[in-house]
């Protein structure tokens, strides 16, 4: 990675039945996708709750990508549709908080979409890269780094 370029940290929640298999397929097909995504396998995107997305941002994620099955193709019938509504709810809360809602995105893929999934990841990384580092993380880092500095200045004085 180029140290001059901002490399976003993106947390990805991938459904076991589709996106996770697609990511696996992308690997088997030797398709490259950016290493900015940290993938968490979930039994179904319907297992995800609004607070999971908020916690990710609170703990420093620059973006969150949720990938569930194609609409109508959920292994648990409608888990991906539940996830879609929760993601929309979380996006609204992010707006209220003061974060760009584009940092949270849900997509639908099948288990055979290795190439499209890689493209989705590339697009997500580029979107978040353009938005810049999460201001939550920046403020947090500033707060953390200001403490040792102040301690040091106290020691010097």
Please report whether residue 74 would count as binding another protein according to CB under 8 A: no
With CB under 8 A as the contact rule, the residue among 139, 145, 150, 152 that binds another protein is 139
With CB under 8 A as the contact rule, the residue among 12, 99, 113, 124 that binds another protein is 99
Where residue 92 falls (left for φ over 0; alpha for ψ -120 to 50; beta otherwise) is alpha
Please report whether residue 58 would count as binding another protein according to CB under 8 A: yes
Number of helices followed by number of strands (H, E) in the chain:
5, 4
Q: How far is the CB of 97 from another protein (least distance, A)?
A: 4
Please report whether residue 143 would count as binding another protein according to CB under 8 A: yes
CA distance 57 to 96: 14
CA distance 26 to 34: 12
Q: Which of residues 28-57 bind another protein (CB under 8 A)?
A: 49-51, 54-55, 57
Q: Is 55 or 123 the residue whose CB approaches another protein more closely? A: 55
Please report whether residue 135 would count as binding another protein according to CB under 8 A: yes
At 78 the three-state DSSP class reads: coil
What DSSP character marks residue 150? H
Q: How far is the CB of 66 from another protein (least distance, A)?
A: 16
CB atoms within 10 A of CB 28: 9
């Amino acid at each position: 990675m180029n140290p001059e370029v901002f490399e976003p940290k993106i947390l990805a929640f991938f459904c076991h039945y589709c996106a996770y298999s697609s990511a696996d397929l992308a690997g088997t097909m030797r398709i490259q996708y950016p290493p900015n995504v940290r993938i968490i396998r979930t039994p179904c995107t319907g297992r995800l709750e609004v607070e999971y997305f908020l916690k990710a941002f609170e703990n420093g994620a620059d973006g969150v990508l949720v990938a569930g099955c194609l609409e109508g193709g959920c292994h648990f019938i409608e888990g991906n549709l539940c996830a879609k509504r929760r993601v929309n709810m979380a996006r609204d809360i992010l707006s209220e908080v003061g974060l760009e809602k584009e940092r949270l995105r849900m997509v639908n893929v099948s288990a055979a979409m290795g190439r499209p999934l890689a493209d989705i990841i590339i697009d997500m990384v580029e979107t978040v890269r353009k938005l810049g580092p999460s201001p939550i993380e920046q403020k947090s880092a500033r707060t953390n780094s200001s403490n040792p500095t102040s301690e040091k200045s106290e020691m010097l004085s």
